[in-house]
């Protein structure tokens, strides 16, 4: 063993400022998630529910991100981690990616059901909340924006979660507007499926990247 005493590499990957930003975004995301899911049920909008549940997965991912920061710092000099705690945030990212994939599957399944068994949608209320969701995502992206996160893959993954959520918000708005003004109600379910597929895409990417780091593979971050 080259390392006979605990040491810490987390000063390179664990950024206190990033942790503070993450905590702020967690609070914003949780509040918005509850609003979107409730209105999604009340308005029978699958696109809005997709956006709300997707935001919920991001809230979980962000929470794991923050916990990983706390644990990395708490056990930085622990003898239980002789090689440092750099992989704790990466493990958190891997875990959140699994939950993200499961949510994508559930959203697609529900959207397919709504496609064949459509429900009446309250477009006005749904559109308002969907736009609110997009605005909140934009605020979160601004809060989390950083010029260079370096090797902080945990923070990068959290940022990409929010970016993907903003995209599904756009899908929800398009579907609702098309349904309200052109009668294309079926687009709501279709956009729900598109949102679910996007969730799966991001999940696959996160699993691939975090697995590479955990397994000490070369070219850890892959396109």
Task: Determine the pLDDT at residue 79.
Answer: 77
pLDDT digits (tens, 9 = 90+) for 14-66: 467 888 899 999 999 888 888 878 888 887 877 677 777 767 777 877 888 89
Between these two residues, 86 and 144, which has the higher pLDDT value?
Answer: 144
> H helices of the chain, where?
10-13, 16-43, 46-74, 87-116, 123-144, 153-182, 186-214
**What average pLDDT does the segment 90-111 reach?**
84
Task: Determine the pLDDT at residue 141.
Answer: 92
Supply 214's token pair: 């955990």
CA angle (50, 143, 74) in 5-degree steps = 95
Between these two residues, 179 and 222, which has the higher pLDDT value?
Answer: 179
Q: Three-state DSSP class for 191?
A: helix
pLDDT digits (tens, 9 = 90+) for 121-149: 878 878 888 888 899 889 999 998 876 65
pTM assigned to the model: 0.72
pLDDT digits (tens, 9 = 90+) for 182-212: 988 888 889 889 888 988 988 898 888 888 8
Task: Determine the pLDDT at residue 25.
Answer: 93
List of long-range contacts for 31-35, beta carbons under 8 Å, 24+ apart: 32/132, 32/133, 32/136, 33/59, 35/129, 35/132
CATH number of 10-214: 1.20.1510
Residue 6 has pLDDT above 60, yes or no: no
Total Cβ atoms within 10 A of residue 70: 13
């Amino acid at each position: 063993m080259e390392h006979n005493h605990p040491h810490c590499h987390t000063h390179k990957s664990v950024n206190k400022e990033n942790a503070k930003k993450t905590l702020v975004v967690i609070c914003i995301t949780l509040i918005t998630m509850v609003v979107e899911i409730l209105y999604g049920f009340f308005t029978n909008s699958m696109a809005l529910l997709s956006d709300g549940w997707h935001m919920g997965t991001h809230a979980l991912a962000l929470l794991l991100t923050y916990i990983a920061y706390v644990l990395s710092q708490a056990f930085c000099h622990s003898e239980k981690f002789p090689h440092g705690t750099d992989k704790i945030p990466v493990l958190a990212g891997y875990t959140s990616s699994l939950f993200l994939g499961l949510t994508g599957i559930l959203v697609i399944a529900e959207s397919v059901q709504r496609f064949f068994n459509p429900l009446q949608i309250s477009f006005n209320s749904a559109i308002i909340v969907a736009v609110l969701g997009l605005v909140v995502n934009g605020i979160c992206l601004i809060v989390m924006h950083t010029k260079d996160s370096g090797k902080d893959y945990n923070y990068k993954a959290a940022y990409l979660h929010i970016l993907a959520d903003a995209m599904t918000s756009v899908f929800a708005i398009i579907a609702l507007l098309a349904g309200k003004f052109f009668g294309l109600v079926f687009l709501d379910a279709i956009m729900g499926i598109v949102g679910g597929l996007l969730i799966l895409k991001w999940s696959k990417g996160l699993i691939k990247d975090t697995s590479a780091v955990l397994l000490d593979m070369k070219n850890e971050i892959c396109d």
